[in-house]
Amino acid sequence: MTGQVFLVSNEGHFVEMRGQAYGTEDELQTLLEQYPKIMAGDLVDSANPRRWLLVSREMGVPDGSSNADRWSIDHLFIDQDGIPTFVEVKRSSDTRIRREVIGQMLDYAANAVAYWPVAKLRSSFEARAGDLAESELMELLRDERTIEDFWQAVRINLEAGCVRLVFVSDAIPNELRTVIEFLYRHMDPVIVLGVEVPQYFDQQTGMRTIVPRLIGPTAQSLAKREAGSSQRNRSGVMSIQAVFDMLVATFPELVKHIEHFLESTREMGIFAEPATQSMGFKWRAPSGKSFNLGAVGLDGRLKTYAVGWAPRSIGRVELAHEYLAALAAIVGGQVKQTPKEDQWYVVGKDGKEPELLGFLKNPEPWISVIQSYIKKLEAMTHQP
């Protein structure tokens, strides 16, 4: 590997660092395992940088003919939106990086999507992380969703074929670069990327610098892909129409009721906002802060674990608890309390999240509860 980078300290000390090839493929794989941030999550999505959870190295993939694994992926990561991310590592000196690696990755993805149950991913992660499994998940999710909802998102992404394929090398040859850019343009919802991770050494100090570079989305291909993608953006967030399209196939009656509910509450300031695997119902305060009133998942159920987040930020999470209790009363359910007060949520009589249709067939009780909640929030947000 050739090339140089230069470091200049505040004291004016000049350090010249020269490119150096990785000694072995395992060295590069271990580096990714220990420091997933090297995979350039901020370059993959600058507006919402990707965070990576390592499920396993050498993750087994079956071919469907038996329960035995036929292949193994160098690394399997999952990002905070539950998108499985397959990583294949090759040094630039490996001739397989030019042709064979493409076929390998497509084999992995096609068979993993077809034959992986999400339980296998979860158990593999828990076996790898051990006692640190919960803390690693909490660091990944940052209170954006519950752990159970995260694994549900992984399941839905697998079933929808929404996965990310990443080729990692110290230097990606032009032949592979051309294929990556082509696949990025044409494989929606599969996301195909390359990440170059050249390393530079200072022989005197032993200091090492790694400078990731993203391969795949050019300005032209990004514009074309975003224009042609009606389902998701690069972060996996679905459009409102995409949520409706997926719901109508299973819950056609529910979609009609949702549309009626949004129309009848429009003057109250209620609006819909899509997410990765759901669509939220929200109210925006005069201050501009949005408050979650619940969300419909692709399973047709009302998701309320995010209701407490915004009230917590203004020091009034008890208002969310009152709102949740009123919702639970409508369906004869209860509020499921969790260790984190801003993640309480409603369950029905059966202990599961209630079906949204139960609220919307006769929406007046829910609308009344929302009106009362909004009045309390307005009083709080208008306080100096």
Which segments within the chain are labelled E, that is strand? 4-8, 14-20, 52-62, 69-79, 84-89, 164-169, 191-196, 199-201, 208-210, 213-215, 270-274, 278-284, 290-297, 302-303, 334-336, 345-347
| pLDDT tens, residue by residue, 165-211 | 999 999 999 888 988 988 888 787 789 999 999 999 888 888 889 98
More confident residue, 243 or 328: 328
Residue 104 scores a pLDDT above 90 = no
- Would the pLDDT of 224 be above 70? no
Mean pLDDT of 103-123: 90
Sign of dihedral through CA atoms 84, 137, 120, 72? positive
Taking alpha carbons only, the member of 277, 296, 25, 42 closest to residue 168 is 25
Among 23-32, 190-199, 218-227, name the one with the lowest average pLDDT.
Answer: 218-227
- The SS3 call for residue 112 is helix
The phi, psi pair for 150, rounded to 5°, reads -60, -50
Q: Provide mean pLDDT across the span 106-130.
A: 92
- Helix, coil or strand: residue 331: coil
Q: Is residue 34 a contact partner of residue 45, using CB atoms and an 8 Å limit?
A: no
Q: How far is CA 41 from the centre of its chain?
A: 11
- Non-local (6+) Cβ contacts of 295 within 8 A are 275, 278, 279, 280, 281, 302, 303, 304, 306
Q: Where residue 381 falls among pLDDT bands split at 50, 70, 90? A: low
- pTM assigned to the model: 0.61
> Looking at residue 80, what is its pLDDT?
92
pLDDT > 70? residue 26: yes
10 Å CB burial of residue 144 (0-12, 13-18, 19+) is: middle
Radius of gyration for the chain, computed over Cα atoms and rounded to the nearest angstrom: 24
Residue 230: pLDDT band with limits 50, 70, 90: very low
Q: Is residue 325 pLDDT above 90, yes or no?
A: yes
Q: Residue 218: what pLDDT? A: 58
Task: Report whether pLDDT(335) > 90.
Answer: yes
At what angle are helices 100-115 and 147-160 packed, to 10 degrees?
120
The CB density around residue 223, as the number of other CB atoms within 10 Å, is: 11
Range in 68-72, 96-100, 143-147 with the lowest mean pLDDT: 96-100
pLDDT of 229 above 50: no
What is the rounded average pLDDT of the residues 76-95?
Answer: 91
